[in-house]
Structure 1
Amino acid sequence: MRTTLLALLFLVPTLALAGTPLPDGPHLVVTGEGKVSAKPDSARIRFDFSRRASRPLPAKQQVDAAVNALLDGLHGFPIKADDVRASDLSASEDIDYNDDGKPVSNGFLAERNVTVVLNDLTRLNELLDFGLDAGASGIGNVEFASSHAKALRDDAKRKAVDDARLRAGELATSFNAQIGPVYSINSLSAKLQEGYRYGESTTLDSITVTGTRAQGRYLQPEVEYRESIQAVFELKR
């Protein structure tokens, strides 16, 4: 009777793992989750540049001048030469169509972007302001990271393993069963999440394109590393 009950209990997980090797005897499938949060110590910023002109050459020259102004000023920040990437030029005519379906030119648009890695987050707002002042049309993306990423991911994976074991044990116990050896383990995903949270105190400014300081409490950046594993445990008969 107990074997029949267990077989019914684990029918859904088994179907979810169609195509994955499973033991012939009683077993259970669990998913373990692990996450570790940390304060980042670097940021990857992408500055976007775009200029429009009646001809392609002036648009290109304006974009190049703005990009060069940014690159020339980066020596004043803790940014390594290897951590700077400037894209190739993209230039094309911007065309719309009127109500009669006839093409209407809006001039020529030239675009480039520059990506840099900053290793001193206390100067992040200063760098953003400088990039916009140098002529960037906008800030495409800001990604936070930690130099201890590998250790943090390993810690998250250990937590995921412990969580899987705990879930398996609790589930088996609830049906008066005991877990046996692990039959298989699959790593489902590794994910990095980032964002701001309210902190009691920090020296960081909020990220804004206006250059103004935040009033009151400041925003504290945080990165979160997540790991998910799926484990198949045999059940003791």
Structure 2
Amino acid sequence: MEPKRLSGVKVFGSAVLRVEPDAASLQFAVSRQAKQPKDAFQAAHTAVKGVRAYLTQAGAAGDVAASRVTLTRTFEYINGRQQPTGYSAKVAFNVLLSDLDRMEELLAGVVDAGANEIDAVEFRTTKLKEYRAEARRRAVAAGREKAENYCRAAGVVLGAVTSIEDISPDVLRGSGEGHTSQDAPADDAGSERAFAPGSIVVGAAVSLVFALAPAAS
């Protein structure tokens, strides 16, 4: 006679780490408007030279990426109708900053040098891989703890893991993994607590299936 097959228990485990940022992405742009395209290009190039000179002087030139200049038509409403007014030439910059204490200095400096658009400041961590691995370990531990609680309540014995499925951390409440979050994502690994508004959220989630072991005789 075949032995009776034991069913399993399926649980969801999650973990969220909140860590201090150690880097920032500063995204800004130089844009200049003129009635003729060549004048807009010339004005933008002149401003770009000023921004690059400042970044070189500030020692940040090696961590800068810049787009090619783009040109768009500009309009404004006159007497209820949209009328062309000229052209806007724009160059976007992205500065990766490892010294966060210099962030205000650099932002003020690039504006003084000619940048006229601050698009975004994103806090980041250079240790994302290590934090993600730790979050995954905690998610598995949280899932096992949950399964053990179910088994104790049901009076059965938890067996070995039979299935592990990685779940996107987007299922957790909050922003994308590895970036600044304004919300406090929920997780199974710890209690809710206050956290710094500029902290980095790194999450992990997993679906585990455990077998039910035969009860000890």
TM-score (norm 1): 0.71
Aligned with 1:68 (options 40, 49, 52): 49
1:234 pairs with 2:211: yes
Are 1:185 and 1:230, in contact at CA under 8 Å, matched by a contact in 2? yes
Runs of 4+ in 1 over 4 A off after TM superposition: 95-100
Are 1:160 and 1:228, in contact at CA under 8 Å, matched by a contact in 2? yes
Query: Which residue does the alignment assign to 1:194?
Result: 180
In structure 2, relative to structure 1, the CA distance for the partners of 1:128 and 1:70 (3 Å cut) is same
Matched letter for residue 126 of structure 1 = E
1:91 pairs with 2:71: yes
Are 2:168 and 2:205, in contact at CA under 8 Å, matched by a contact in 1? yes
Aligned with 1:135 (options 114, 121, 125): 114
> What does 1:101-180 correspond to in 2, within 5 Å?
104-180=83-159
Query: Which residue does the alignment assign to 2:8?
Result: 27
Identical positions, percent: 28
Structure 1, 220-229 or 125-134: larger mean CA deviation: 220-229
Structure 1, 164-173 or 116-125: larger mean CA deviation: 164-173
In structure 2, relative to structure 1, the CA distance for the partners of 1:32 and 1:120 (3 Å cut) is same
In structure 2, relative to structure 1, the CA distance for the partners of 1:80 and 1:61 (3 Å cut) is closer
In structure 2, relative to structure 1, the CA distance for the partners of 1:232 and 1:53 (3 Å cut) is same
Are 1:45 and 1:143, in contact at CA under 8 Å, matched by a contact in 2? yes
Distance 1:196 1:225 in 2: 13
Gaps of 5+ in 1: 1-23, 198-218
Are 1:28 and 1:235, in contact at CA under 8 Å, matched by a contact in 2? yes
Q: SS at 1:174's partner residue?
A: helix
Are 1:78 and 1:120, in contact at CA under 8 Å, matched by a contact in 2? no
Structure 1, 58-67 or 154-163: larger mean CA deviation: 58-67
Are 2:55 and 2:61, in contact at CA under 8 Å, matched by a contact in 1? no
The Cα shift of 1:80 comes to 5.8
Query: Which residue does the alignment assign to 1:201?
Result: none
Are 1:46 and 1:140, in contact at CA under 8 Å, matched by a contact in 2? yes
The higher relative CO (CA closer than 8 Å, separation ≥ 6) is in: 2
In structure 2, relative to structure 1, the CA distance for the partners of 1:59 and 1:168 (3 Å cut) is same
CA RMSD across the alignment: 2.7
In structure 2, relative to structure 1, the CA distance for the partners of 1:160 and 1:221 (3 Å cut) is same
TM-score (norm 2): 0.76
